[in-house]
Structure 1
């Protein structure tokens, strides 16, 4: 890949073209990861419902741990994109080295601690008997393999900061492909059950994570790391952590918020919970373009702020908003019309079909709000002002959605529709907050400007 041409495209090319070129691979990568999750679920489901429940039961813990790595990667993308935009290749390389070293060392410690406290965590969550044993078995292996996950996050952030969203997609696809091959071997041939599924995941991710990192040292295009770049730099690490910590907090509190949200949804009955789960799976597919554009926007905003072209950074936000709205209006219209037929693919329960159809139609009509949320999120993360992004993520669930559900449930006759209307209203409110933060123009101040020269 010619990184100088990619940088020129991001800084000077047609904005719509830039957004689509960068977001396309991200969308495909998200789809690949969805296939990966479905594949794991499929093979584990051959073992039985208990095994599926055990894996699903500990997923919030895994996502909570992942949020820390995601936060560090967001900081890496912001810093590298801004150094790339300012044509400071040396400091971009040093940030890449720190991201890689910190992610690896920290994830080892996190994995070891997690391994020993896993039984306590799973027991506290309420698992007993065989469910407890299977959950602990699966979670321990995943946690010990945490370095492979964090290193992959670091690699992706290094590439995305340079405007390369294609290479992470390729490695992601290869990892998923290997996992599909290894799953049945470890689960059935070697008769390792859920432990086999965890081992297959760690190996598939680990093999390509190691190779991906290896390419950072041998390939001369873009950022080429040297061993000296891996030596921890206190000043730079403090900068990375100060940017990454709010993102980690935002991600982890969101994960916790959705876990609490599920409890409230379940209080309306099993049918409502099923309708909620099915509707969210469909919505996640429709939202992929918006999520892809939001992630691509963080790189575009970062590089243009690094190049001191604030006007073009604003243009990127504007064009991204237009493209996202178009995609979501089209997708939302299709889902609105075909909602009942789509739901019937997943269930034959009339009560679930009725509730899920109403939910899907209401949410599909408000999808552009989620698009705007993704745009503001990408803008604030790319500019490095992650506290703004954190405030949006945490307030959406904890300050608005959950309190609104409690309010509607106890003081109206909306019943299960309390959840659907609370979701729309919370999305609308947080978009207004995002607009206020955007118009404050504080995000336009690049973070590398205040950073001391890295030595």
Structure 2
């Protein structure tokens, strides 16, 4: 019989840079796979030869991204609460908090479905979808939306694996979902002739795989689950809410900003929206390392906060920012030299091709500040200052998006919208880093007094 793995705070010892790189690498592989098949999904839809289909995917994805962002916020709360308990050495509490988190995620996800369904048409119209494009987008959402609990629980389970320090198994959770999508997408879309509906059904199947592998890792491998008593559940719910609500608000800000971009760029026609849809999928795939980094440092910070290792908190932040700089420079260079190839791969014409190549050559560099903001937000969420990340992200997604994309579009057309999207993040990325190190100094000073 296999022995039960011992859960311990592995991040409170050893090189912080090694932990950051290892957790980011495993997270990146899984995320790149997920985002790659998402790009392939759009590529398949584009090959059906109907511009409205690609635009419909763009509108539907913008709306569904709100729900995905809520799921990410819930997983952040899960990782933060459980990793702190592991770092402090209280494994029994960690298991009960893990169970409490999963109960809360399931309840919130089901409630969101009930609240969203009656307003799908109105919400898509608010984003700028009209006519046949709006009808197709709504059809896609109707099919995919009921699988939201599968996605949210899958992300929560992956968060628990990261909290336990098992980045490799957390990677397999996302890799499995990506593999399912890669296999089923062309099968459903082309072989079964289901088109847009096929993409939706493949999406649901992938979420089933996501949750199934996550359950195996948490319940069978790490046994990171114990039925919580009432006192622990209440305590966990309060901690979950204190981190989860600001984290949800923080993550919802990003699709809000994307929705603002979609709404403005819709004025330039379906081609411009199709180009933005490509960019929206290119961003998470190209910059998966940054998204993985923000998730990777959460459990590292959480465990070291629980162990009160403030020196390791500072070094984790410095290492993360250095990694951000190197990563963005490499990806920006690759996107710039491949910009024309990327546009041709999606059969982008006219305005669509213009905005794609413009983003790759110029705007992609702004992700140095986006990445810095991601890192700072992860720190705030795990260090007990989640409202800071909420304020910064909403500032970026409102003041750092709406006026920039509006004036950019007014002066330079569709390319100006994309330029405004990149310029608006500069101030908020720099402010996030400064504020983060200020918080670290404050935490250490309070511990010494």
The CA deviation at 1:147 is 1.6
Of 76, 79, 86, the match for 2:78:
76
The CA deviation at 1:152 is 0.4
Counterpart in 2 of 1:403? 403
Instruction: State the distance in 2 between where 1:119 and 1:268 align.
Output: 22
Counterpart in 2 of 1:452? none
1:430 aligns with 2:432: no
1:28 aligns with 2:29: yes
> Deviation digits for residues 351-375 of structure 1, max 9, x if unmatched?
7666654543332444432332222
The CA deviation at 1:101 is 0.8
Instruction: State the distance in 1 between where 2:417 and 2:376 align.
Output: 24
Counterpart in 1 of 2:163? 161
Counterpart in 2 of 1:373? 373
RMSD of Structure 2 on Structure 1 (CA) = 3.5
Does the Cα contact within 8 Å between 1:93 and 1:225 map onto a contact in 2? yes
**TM-score, length-scaled by structure 2:** 0.84
Does the Cα contact within 8 Å between 1:275 and 1:353 map onto a contact in 2? yes
Summarize the Cα distance change of 1:363–1:200 in structure 2 as closer, same or farther, 3 Å threshold. Answer: closer
**TM-score, length-scaled by structure 1:** 0.83
Summarize the Cα distance change of 1:436–1:43 in structure 2 as closer, same or farther, 3 Å threshold. Answer: closer
Q: Secondary structure at the match of 1:160?
A: helix
Does the Cα contact within 8 Å between 2:328 and 2:365 map onto a contact in 1? no
Does the Cα contact within 8 Å between 1:247 and 1:386 map onto a contact in 2? yes
Counterpart in 1 of 2:327? 327
Counterpart in 2 of 1:203? 205
The CA deviation at 1:196 is 4.1
Instruction: State the distance in 2 between where 1:200 and 1:270 align.
Output: 25
Q: Secondary structure at the match of 1:400?
A: coil
The CA deviation at 1:85 is 1.2
The CA deviation at 1:405 is 3.8
* Structure 1: stretches of 5+ with no match in the other structure: 450-455
The CA deviation at 1:95 is 1.4
Q: Pick which of 359-368 and 288-297 moved more.
A: 359-368
Does the Cα contact within 8 Å between 1:300 and 1:382 map onto a contact in 2? no
Q: What are the equivalent positions in structure 2 for 1:52-451 lying under 5 Å apart?
A: 52-119=54-121, 121-122=123-124, 131=133, 134-183=136-185, 186-187=188-189, 193-210=195-212, 212-219=214-221, 221=222, 223-228=223-228, 233-267=233-267, 281-336=281-336, 339=339, 343=343, 346=346, 356-407=356-407, 418-419=416-417, 421-441=419-439, 445=443
Counterpart in 2 of 1:38? 39
Instruction: State the distance in 2 between where 1:171 and 1:104 align.
Output: 18
The CA deviation at 1:88 is 1.5
Instruction: State the distance in 2 between where 1:253 and 1:21 align.
Output: 29
The CA deviation at 1:213 is 2.0
Does the Cα contact within 8 Å between 2:291 and 2:374 map onto a contact in 1? yes
Q: Pick which of 108-117 and 81-90 moved more.
A: 108-117
Between Structure 1 and Structure 2, how many residues are aligned? Answer: 442
Instruction: State the distance in 2 between where 1:111 and 1:300 align.
Output: 33
Q: Secondary structure at the match of 2:425?
A: helix
The CA deviation at 1:251 is 1.8
